[in-house]
């Protein structure tokens, strides 16, 4: 050990001595040398053939997409079109899947198990709990994801994301955050956990923490279905039929935009309170536009994103289905566990413009945000004691919009409940995978706790304020 130590000291002291001779700005001279060498080698190797093309397509597109005036409207327009395509396109395949998996297959399985004389609790636990929750998640999530992810990936391949970052950079800087946060936020629209890993591109720990804490305000794909479903039932339902899709898409976009606004507000607040500091500069490269390789992109985004995300959702939905079924069927003092919880939290929920059912659903759905809506539907049926819907307590049933609307009506839902559900779905704690990722990245219990509790606290406050104002006005 000592030998190693002395050898090391020998080298280090020599380095210290020599550094004086090498000149005061060794780092700068070194960089300069590297740059000079690079430019000499490049000069010798590269030549231009012919004249510069007179019309530069990339420049022209950039001038439009990153324009001071058109940049933001173009962004909103592109987002709206993407969601409109998703909502309109997913309707038919969703209901077909529901018919297949829930109406037909589930009924057949139930009939089969009745014929075999399987006891009600085994059959209920497996078919009404485990199977139905998985089937529900597939029917609701697969079609929108199969449309949304390929379109989003095509935009990414084309080179649009860095332009979004460019447009937002100034706002991020003004909120005291790093401009690259625009990139990680955009990734958060896909998956918050993946985006949190991606914050590694941000060098400064302060700015990286801001990016991690606020990433939850980027609506992730687990929450898109909730937003899309609630928006199409309540908000699309207010509009004439031919506009319903567009109006719902606009509602979803507003929630997404609100998320972006909250990202700025919270970043600003953090960087002026517990994470004080100056925003550091960075250079953002706008890569050339590349024609996307359409077929390959569609294939890989189907396999890598859609199926993997779907698989994760199913894996989480199955145990959640079990929990729901059990909590609805285990009775204590004449009421099921779920009903006890709902009755207990209902006053608090109503104060927030939500209800006990929604709060319980969020507790059940901590592992995966995807299953919030199915849980709410099931629990609403249960607590409203609706006859003829679902085959008994704790059953998740089909996402048919008219039935869903009926369930909501029976549960005492109003437009306020819907709006607040959308708001709360945007502003609440990250899912357990994301929380775990935050811990892995920061290795800090303090910042993980803050990242988890800050949004849920804000969600309560926002919902409370909206509910009180709403009730004052109506």
Partner 1 sequence: MATETAAEGCEACPAHHAGNLIKLGVNMANWDYVVALAGNPNTGKSTVFNALTGLRQHTGNWPGKTVVRAEGGFSYNDGRYKLVDLPGTYSLLSTSLDEEVARDFILFGQPDVTVIVVDATRLERNLNLVIQVLEITDRAVVCLNLIDEAKRHGLQVDDRRLARDLGVPVVPTAARQDEGIPLLIETMSQVATGEVVCKPHRLQNETSAMRQAIGRLVDKIESVFPDLPNARWVALRLLDGDKRIVEAVRTGELGDLSRGMASGQEFMSEVAK
Summarize as ranges the residues that interact with partner 1 (CB under 8 A): 4-5, 7-8, 10-12, 14-15, 18-19, 21-23, 26-27, 29-53, 153, 156-159, 161-162, 165, 180, 183, 197-198, 200-201, 203, 284-285, 287-290, 293, 300, 303-305
Nearest approach in angstroms of CB 268 to partner 1 is: 24
Tokens of 47: 């030549």
Nearest approach in angstroms of CB 23 to partner 1 is: 5
Could you tell me which residues come within 8 angstroms of residue 80 by beta carbon, excluding any fewer than 6 positions away? 249, 250, 253
Cα dihedral sign, 278-280-286-287: negative
For partner 1, the closer of residues 14 and 343 by Cβ is 14
DSSP H or E run through 314: helix 308-329
Residues 184, 211 contacting (CB under 8 angstroms) = yes
Phi/psi of residue 355, nearest 5 degrees: -155, 175
For partner 1, the closer of residues 52 and 273 by Cβ is 52
Nearest approach in angstroms of CB 196 to partner 1 is: 11
Question: Which of 127, 117, 137 is CA-nearest to residue 390?
Answer: 127
For partner 1, the closer of residues 60 and 108 by Cβ is 60
Strands (DSSP E) along 311-466, which ranges? 331-332, 335-336
Nearest approach in angstroms of CB 37 to partner 1 is: 6
Tokens of 368: 């995966």
Nearest approach in angstroms of CB 442 to partner 1 is: 12
Q: How far apart are CA 135 and CA 113, in angstroms?
A: 18
Nearest approach in angstroms of CB 407 to partner 1 is: 38
For partner 1, the closer of residues 289 and 470 by Cβ is 289
Could you tell me which residues come within 8 angstroms of residue 221 by beta carbon, excluding any fewer than 6 positions away? 145, 148, 149, 189, 190, 191, 309
For partner 1, the closer of residues 194 and 257 by Cβ is 194
**Residue indicated by tokens 């923490």:** 209
For partner 1, the closer of residues 42 and 473 by Cβ is 42
Cα dihedral 362, 341, 354, 262, rounded to 10, equals -40
For partner 1, the closer of residues 1 and 116 by Cβ is 1
For partner 1, the closer of residues 33 and 331 by Cβ is 33
Around Cβ 380, how many Cβ atoms within 10 Å? 24
For partner 1, the closer of residues 278 and 304 by Cβ is 304
Nearest approach in angstroms of CB 187 to partner 1 is: 9
Question: Which of 143, 130, 139 is CA-nearest to residue 103?
Answer: 139
For partner 1, the closer of residues 38 and 92 by Cβ is 38
The separation between the first and the last C-alpha atoms of the chain, rounded to the nearest angstrom, is 79
Tokens of 374: 């199915």
Nearest approach in angstroms of CB 244 to partner 1 is: 33
DSSP H or E run through 339: helix 337-351
Nearest approach in angstroms of CB 309 to partner 1 is: 13
Tokens of 248: 């719902």
Instruction: Looking at 191-239, list the stretches that DSSP marks H as alpha helix, in order from N- to C-terminal side.
Output: 192-198, 205-214, 224-230
Nearest approach in angstroms of CB 452 to partner 1 is: 22
């Amino acid at each position: 050990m000592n030998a190693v130590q002395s050898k090391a000291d020998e080298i280090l002291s020599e380095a210290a001595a020599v550094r004086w001779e090498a000149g005061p700005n060794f780092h700068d001279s070194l960089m300069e040398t590297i740059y000079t060498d690079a430019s000499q080698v490049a000069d010798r190797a590269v030549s231009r053939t012919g004249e510069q093309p007179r019309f530069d397509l990339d420049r022209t597109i950039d001038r439009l997409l990153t324009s001071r005036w058109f940049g933001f409207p173009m962004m909103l327009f592109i987002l709206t079109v993407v969601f409109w395509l998703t909502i309109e396109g997913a309707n038919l395949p969703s209901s077909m899947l529901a018919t297949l998996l829930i109406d037909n297959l589930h009924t057949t399985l139930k009939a089969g198990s009745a014929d075999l004389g399987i006891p009600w609790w085994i059959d209920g636990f497996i078919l009404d709990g485990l199977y139905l929750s998985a089937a529900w998640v597939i029917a609701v999530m697969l079609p929108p994801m199969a449309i949304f992810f390929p379109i989003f990936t095509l935009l990414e391949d084309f080179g649009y994301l860095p332009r979004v970052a460019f447009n937002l950079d100034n706002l991020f800087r003004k909120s005291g955050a790093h401009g690259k946060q625009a990139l990680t936020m955009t990734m958060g629209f896909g998956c918050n956990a993946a985006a949190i890993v991606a914050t590694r591109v941000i060098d400064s720990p302060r700015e990286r923490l801001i990016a991690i804490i606020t990433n939850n305000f980027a609506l992730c794909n687990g929450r898109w279905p909730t937003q899309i479903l609630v928006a199409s039932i309540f908000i699309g339902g207010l509009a004439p039929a031919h506009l319903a899709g567009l109006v719902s898409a606009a509602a979803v976009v507003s929630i997404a935009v609100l998320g972006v606004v909250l990202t700025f507000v919270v970043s600003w607040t953090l960087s002026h309170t517990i994470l004080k500091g100056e925003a550091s500069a960075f250079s953002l490269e706008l890569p050339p536009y590349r024609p996307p390789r359409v077929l390959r992109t569609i294939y890989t985004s189907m396999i890598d994103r859609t199926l993997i995300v779907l698989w994760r959702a199913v894996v989480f939905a199955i145990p959640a289905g079990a929990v729901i079924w059990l909590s609805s069927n285990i009775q204590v003092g004449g009421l099921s566990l779920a009903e006890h919880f709902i009755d207990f939290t209902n006053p608090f929920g109503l104060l927030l413009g939500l209800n006990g059912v929604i709060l319980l659903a969020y507790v059940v759905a901590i592992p995966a945000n995807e299953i919030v809506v199915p849980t709410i539907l099931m629990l609403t049926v249960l607590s409203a004691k609706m006859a003829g819907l679902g085959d008994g307590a704790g059953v998740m049933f089909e996402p048919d919009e008219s039935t869903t609307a009926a369930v909501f009506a029976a549960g005492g839902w109003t437009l306020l409940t819907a709006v607040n559900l959308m708001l709360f779905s945007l502003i609440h704690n990250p899912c357990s995978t994301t929380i775990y990722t935050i811990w892995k990245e920061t290795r800090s219990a303090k910042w993980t706790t803050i990242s988890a509790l800050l949004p849920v606290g804000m969600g309560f406050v926002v919902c409370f304020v909206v509910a009180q104002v709403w009730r004052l006005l109506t």
